């Protein structure tokens, strides 16, 4: 598959004496190639990519839950996790409102604004891996 250019293909997977037709989507992403498969042959390429991005966010959430040592299902840990999620949503909404009220177009512009006008620590863009 390394030879296939980016695009959408139909492929037959042979599993023993069963053959399953799948849709293969080959993408270039951050200097690497990604291969996605689906058995939904009618799914649009964009929907396959969106589904992957959503699933990747879920994987990152699981990683963060483990990093916070919250995979235990005890009540207190679940409550703490709900608190972290609520705090995260509040911060995201506050940043979104701040960006809008300053008539900025992105988080990157907000970080530049903080660096240039509010004396924020230089290198915020690198700290947040935006540059």
Total of domains in the chain: 2
Q: What count of residues does the chain have?
A: 131
| Domain co-membership, 35 together with 88 | no
Range of the domain at 1: 1-67
| Domain co-membership, 43 together with 55 | yes
User: Can you read off the two tokens belonging to residue 36?
Assistant: 């996605």
pLDDT digits (tens, 9 = 90+) for 34-44: 899 899 999 99
pTM of the model: 0.47
Where does 1-131 have alpha helices with state H?
45-67, 75-101, 107-117, 124-127
| Domain co-membership, 4 together with 21 | yes
User: Can you read off the two tokens belonging to residue 113?
Assistant: 């604004």
Give pLDDT, residue 107: 73
């Amino acid at each position: 598959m390394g030879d296939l250019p980016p695009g959408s293909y139909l492929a037959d997977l042979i599993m023993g004496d069963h053959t399953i037709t799948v849709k293969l989507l080959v993408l270039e992403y951050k200097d690497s190639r990604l291969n996605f498969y689906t058995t939904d042959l009618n799914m649009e390429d964009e929907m396959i990519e969106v589904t992957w991005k959503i699933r990747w966010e879920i994987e990152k959430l699981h990683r963060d839950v483990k990093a916070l040592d919250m995979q235990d299902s005890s009540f207190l840990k679940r409550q703490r996790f709900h608190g972290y999620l609520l705090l995260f949503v509040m911060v995201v909404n506050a940043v979104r409102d701040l960006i809008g009220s300053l008539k900025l177009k992105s988080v990157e512009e907000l970080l530049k604004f903080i660096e240039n006008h509010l004396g924020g620590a230089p290198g915020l863009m690198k700290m947040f891996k935006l540059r």
